[in-house]
Amino acid sequence: MRDVPTAQAGLTAKLRQASPIPLDVELTVAPGEVLALVGPSGSGKSTALKAIAGLYAPSDGRVVCNGSVWLDREAGISVPARERRVGMVFQSYALFPHLTAVENVMEALGDVRPEERHGEARALLQRMHLEGLEDRRPALLSGGQQQRVAVARALARRPDILLLDEPFSAVDRVTRRRLRRELMELRRELSMPVILVTHDLDDVIRLADCMCVLQGGRILQTGAVEAVMARPASPLIAELLDLSGGDGAT
């Protein structure tokens, strides 16, 4: 993994390709900042997230996080996903169904000595308000509880960045509000960049500092949440921000 000057704290990403999924995206997220990516289905939100995580390889681009170059197509650098210090929470949770909550979190503690993993995993689950549920498998947990396990597992990687892909879409409204409050509390403790993909503007308003509006793999507008919401740069952006329907896979 090639290093660059440490002054480049946070994340910078430039992702470009013409096909099969068009991308022309530049993102900058400072430590402790939450950036929301919003836009209709197929706008490239989740594709950008996966490219940062190393789960998708764009034909051109550069991704630098906290001074480490994860991707530089021109220089021939492409760090595998397992070597990128990324905590990612998927819309579907992606928990191992045959493992308990604590075992799911332990799977992400590969850098921790084996004899310490169980205790650290339990501590992370307690941090996510899951005391007493450590030994349950995902099928015996509610959607909100599964999501908390997924967040605990993401944090277990000791990530340099946290990526949240529609983290609340599979839970009911009451659980969504509760998880949102818990994430608001958690983000106050985190000093890492956070990127949130969502179609719900309440998530954006309550959690994000900045937002990018995407369509067709291209950023239409970026800026502070209040500024973009108050002054959309075009009628199209105003229309996109009024979207209230579901958002499929992107």
What are 35-93's pLDDT values in tens digits?
Answer: 999 999 889 999 999 999 999 999 999 999 999 999 999 999 999 999 999 999 988 88
The string of DSSP letters for 29-40 reads: E-TT-EEEEE-S
Q: Which domains does the chain have, with CATH numbers?
A: 1-83+210-250 (3.40.50)
pTM of full prediction above 0.95: no
How far CA 160 is from CA of 85, 135, 164, 204, in Å, comes to 5, 28, 14, 21
What are 6-28's pLDDT values in tens digits?
Answer: 446 899 999 999 988 899 999 99
Residue type, 188: R
> Cα separation of 169 and 57, whole Å?
26
The string of DSSP letters for 169-196 reads: TTS-HHHHHHHHHHHHHHHHH--S-EEE
* Size of the chain, expressed as the number of residues it contains: 250
Torsion angle of C-alpha atoms 125, 129, 135, 139, degrees rounded to 10:
-110
What are 159-199's pLDDT values in tens digits?
Answer: 999 999 988 877 788 888 888 888 888 877 888 999 999 98
